[in-house]
Structure 1
Amino acid sequence: MAAPQLILASGSPRRRELLDQIGVRYQIVAADIDETPFPHEAPDALALRLAREKAQWVWQQSDKTLPVLGADTHGVLDGQWLMKPKDEADACAMLLRMSGRSHDIYSAVVLCFEDSCLGALSRSRVWFRHMQEAEIAAYWASGEPRDKAGAYAIQGLGAVFVERLEGSYSGVMGLPLFETANLLKQFGLSIGSR
C-alpha cells in the first residue's frame, strides 16, 4: 500500500469516504479542540477558524512530514446553529423548523504544511420539503439523525427530505471536494492516486 499523502484531522467517516472517492491517501489523527462558537461569530468565520484550529492542532502533534487537512461544517437556520441533537425531542423540533424551508451549510477546509495554512469555504443552501411529524419520528427511530449536525444525513435516509440543493453536495456531507482538490493542487498533492 502506498504511503499517505496527508493527515486528516478528523475522525468523520464521511470525510474519509469523500477523500477515498477522489483517491487521496491519508492517515487519521482526530483533532481535540474546543468547537464553541465565539459570541456573534459569523458562520463562515466559525467554519474557517475551526478548520484551521483542527489542522494546526494536529500539525503541532505530528512529526511535521505530512500536510494536515482540517475541515469543519455547520448549518444555520434563522441565525441559529444546527447542532447535533441532544435527544429525540431536540431532533424532531429541529427538523420541524427546517420543514418546508431552506437552511445554509458552511463547510470549510484548511491545509497546513510547514509555515503555510491555506483555506477555502463552501456555502450551500438546502431546501427541505414539508415533513409530517410521523415521518420525522420514524426517521429518528432509524438511528441516523442521532450524531448528525442538523439531525440529518444528506447521503443517507435524510436525502428524502431534500427538495433541492444549491451549492456543494460534498460540502453538505462535510468536506467540499472542489475546494479540497484546489488546495491539494496548490500544495503539489495529486488526486486519484490511490
Structure 2
Amino acid sequence: MYKQKLPILLASKSPRRHELMKLMGLDFKVVLKDVDESYPEQLLPAEVAVYIAEKKAAAFSQERQDHIVITADTIVAYKNEILGKPEDATHAIEMLSKLSGTNHQVYTGVSLSLGEKVHSFFDVTEVFFNAITTEEIGHYVNNYNPFDKAGAYGIQDWIGFIAVEKIIGSYTNVMGLPTEKLYKALSTF
C-alpha cells in the first residue's frame, strides 16, 4: 500500500483530477502556473501528452525541491488528429460530430517530479461512441461545459451516459488521470 511520505502538489486546475486524487486518498495541494502547451507537430498523440506533462513539470522546478509535483495532460485523438479543447460552441459541435458513431483514443500523459528526478508515463483508452444526433450534440454543448475538456466532452457527463457504447482501457484515464498507473508510479517513485 502506498504510504505518503512527502507533500504532493497537483499542478492542475481540472476539477476531475482533483476529485480523482481525493478518491485515491491522497493528501495534496493544488498549485497553478500558466504554461505554454504548444508542442512539435511531428509528435504522435502519446508523445504529445507526455511532452506537455513534462513541460508543465519544468515550470515547477522550485516547488519540486521538497514536494512531489504531479502534472498531467489529456488529449483526444481521432485518426491521429489531436482534438484539443474547443474554442467555442461551433468548434465543440464540429468535434462531437466527428466523434459520433466512431471510435477514438484518449491519451493522458503524467509526470511525477521531485528535485531532479522525473518519471513520466502515459495511458491510452479506446472510446467507442454511438451515433448521436445534431439535436443531442446541441443539447450537450448548450447545457454542459465542453469548453474545458479535450475532444469537447466529459465521459462522466450526460454525453458519456448516452453516447459512449464501450471503452477499452482505463475509465479514469478518460476523465483525465489514469489512477491505477499513478498509484503504482507513486509506490515506486
What amino acid sits opposite 1:93 in the alignment? E
Question: How far did residue 89 of structure 1 move?
Answer: 1.4
Partner of 2:148: 147
Question: How far did residue 28 of structure 1 move?
Answer: 1.1
Question: How far did residue 31 of structure 1 move?
Answer: 3.4
Structure 1 ranges of 4+ moved more than 6 A: none
Is the Cα–Cα contact under 8 Å of residues 70 and 112 in structure 2 kept in the other structure? yes
Deviations 1:98-120 (CA, angstroms, capped at 9, x unpaired) = 11100011111111112211112
Relative to structure 2, which stretch is displaced further, 2-11 or 129-138?
A: 2-11
- What secondary structure sits across from 1:74 in the alignment? strand
Cα distance in 1 between the residues matched to 2:28 and 2:65: 14
Identity level (%): 34
1:43 maps to 2:45: yes
Computed over aligned residues only, the root mean square deviation of the Cα atoms, in angstroms, reads 1.7
> Which of 170, 174, 177 is the aligned partner of 2:176?
174
Partner of 1:130: 131
Deviations 1:104-148 (CA, angstroms, capped at 9, x unpaired) = 111111111122111121011100000110111111110321221
Is the Cα–Cα contact under 8 Å of residues 154 and 173 in structure 1 kept in the other structure? yes
What amino acid sits opposite 1:173 in the alignment? M
Is the Cα–Cα contact under 8 Å of residues 100 and 130 in structure 2 kept in the other structure? yes
- With normalisation by structure 1, the TM-score equals 0.90
Cα distance in 1 between the residues matched to 2:97 and 2:71: 31
- What secondary structure sits across from 1:90 in the alignment? helix
Relative to structure 2, which stretch is displaced further, 60-69 or 122-131?
A: 60-69
Number of positions where the alignment pairs a residue of Structure 1 with one of Structure 2: 185
Consecutive unaligned residues in structure 1, runs of 5 or more: 188-194
Deviations 1:147-186 (CA, angstroms, capped at 9, x unpaired) = 2111111011121210100111111111100111011101
Partner of 2:22: 20
Partner of 1:191: none
Partner of 2:113: 112
- With normalisation by structure 2, the TM-score equals 0.92
Within a 5 Å distance, the mapping from 1:52-91 to structure 2 comes to 52-58=54-60, 60-62=61-63, 64-91=65-92
Cα distance in 2 between the residues matched to 1:3 and 1:182: 15
- What secondary structure sits across from 2:38 in the alignment? coil
Is the Cα–Cα contact under 8 Å of residues 4 and 27 in structure 1 kept in the other structure? no
Cα distance in 2 between the residues matched to 1:157 and 1:4: 37
Consecutive unaligned residues in structure 2, runs of 5 or more: none
Is the Cα–Cα contact under 8 Å of residues 103 and 127 in structure 1 kept in the other structure? yes
Is the Cα–Cα contact under 8 Å of residues 4 and 25 in structure 1 kept in the other structure? no
Cα distance in 2 between the residues matched to 1:89 and 1:176: 30
Is the Cα–Cα contact under 8 Å of residues 64 and 114 in structure 2 kept in the other structure? no
> Which of 153, 163, 166 is the aligned partner of 1:164?
166
- What secondary structure sits across from 2:174 in the alignment? helix
- What secondary structure sits across from 1:7 in the alignment? strand
Is the Cα–Cα contact under 8 Å of residues 64 and 115 in structure 2 kept in the other structure? no
Question: How far did residue 32 of structure 1 move?
Answer: 2.2
Cα distance in 1 between the residues matched to 2:164 and 2:33: 31
Is the Cα–Cα contact under 8 Å of residues 124 and 168 in structure 1 kept in the other structure? yes
